[in-house]
Amino acid sequence: MKKYFNHIFKRTKQKNRTKNKEVYSASPSGFQNFLLEIGELSRFTADFFRETFSYPYEIKEFLKQSSRMGLSTLPLISITAFIMGLVLTLQSRPVLVDFGAESWLPGMISVSIVREIGPVITALICSGKIASGIGAELGSMRVTEQIDAMEVSGTNPVKYLVVTRVLATTFMVPILVFYSDAISFYGSYVAVNMHGFISIKLFIAQAFETLHYFDIIPATIKTFFFGFAIGIIGCYKGYYSNNGTEGVGRAANSAVVISSLVIFIIDLIAVQLSEMIHIFSI
């Protein structure tokens, strides 16, 4: 009898082992993949912070990446920001004219640009230009074993490639947003002058009259987060790219898609938080 139960027990154990094996060897579902991705990204972000504050500091590479990213996106941001300011003014003007509030135009445009449109549009442009560039660059370095070569030569690739790029995007995106806001103001000034004359001095005075610290500070803080998200997602996707050239393309593409989505999520959270802070401060 004892022998029989032992036999049954063994068989059940074996069956369960096989079952478990099947469960573990089965490819993860979409949701499991999503959770795995979040976990990997969190670990990657932790590595970034650990390497950021440890010596030696890659200042030369950081400056090189910052200037490269800034200069490469400058023409695109200039054109987009000018058109953005111009179109926004032209579209808003008829409504304000109907209400006899045309003089509010510079103030209204400045609030829209500084608080929302400037940061978000600039971050999206940077996402398209910079995140895809980082994803493709690190991805091709990964598949051609350049990252491995760096590692075996005694260089920490996270410190040299990732930290410098993420810090560069974190500090360059806010600067680019300020620049983009200024160009948008100029576009708006041109649009206002299409239907009449207003001096640049008066335009600036009216634009800044409606702006408060409460408009500028939260909008500036969120641009640092936009820059960080662009850098870390671009680097993560490129650093862990695989499957040859196809993987490089996929890394660049998903870097843009995910960082754009994250920009909107950060924007939503930032708006909610700033509203809450505003309510409590009144």
Partner 1 sequence: MEQKHNISDNSNEYVIEIKHLQKSFNGRMILSDINLKVKKSENVVVLGKSGIGKSVLIKCIVGLIHPDKGSVKVFGKEVSRMNRKELDEIRTRVGFIFQGNALYDSMSVRENLEFPLRRNKIISDKKEIDKLVYEVLESVGLKDTVDKMPAELSGGMKKRIGLARTLILKPEIILYDEPTTGLDPLTSREISKLINKIQNIYQASSIIITHDLECAKRTSNRVLILQDGVFYAEGTFDELKKNDDSFVQSFFVTV
The Cα–Cα gap between 1 and 9 comes to 12
C-beta of 121 vs 143, nearer to partner 1: 143
Q: Which two tokens stand for residue 75?
A: 């023409």
Query: Are 72 and 129 contacting, i.e. CB atoms less than 8 angstroms apart?
Result: yes
Least distance (Å) between residue 159 CB and partner 1: 10
Least distance (Å) between residue 88 CB and partner 1: 39
C-beta of 148 vs 275, nearer to partner 1: 148
C-beta of 92 vs 155, nearer to partner 1: 155
Least distance (Å) between residue 144 CB and partner 1: 6
- Give the residues lining the site for partner 1 (CB under 8 A): 25, 140-141, 144-146, 148-156, 160
C-beta of 6 vs 242, nearer to partner 1: 242
Least distance (Å) between residue 273 CB and partner 1: 37
C-beta of 52 vs 146, nearer to partner 1: 146
Secondary structure string (H, E, C) spanning 157-221: HHHHHHHHHHHHHHHHHHHHHHHHHHHHHHHHHHHHHHCCCCCHHHHHHHHHHCCCHHHHHHHHH
C-beta of 157 vs 218, nearer to partner 1: 157
Least distance (Å) between residue 141 CB and partner 1: 8
Least distance (Å) between residue 62 CB and partner 1: 15
The Cα–Cα gap between 245 and 97 comes to 55
Least distance (Å) between residue 68 CB and partner 1: 10
C-beta of 129 vs 195, nearer to partner 1: 129
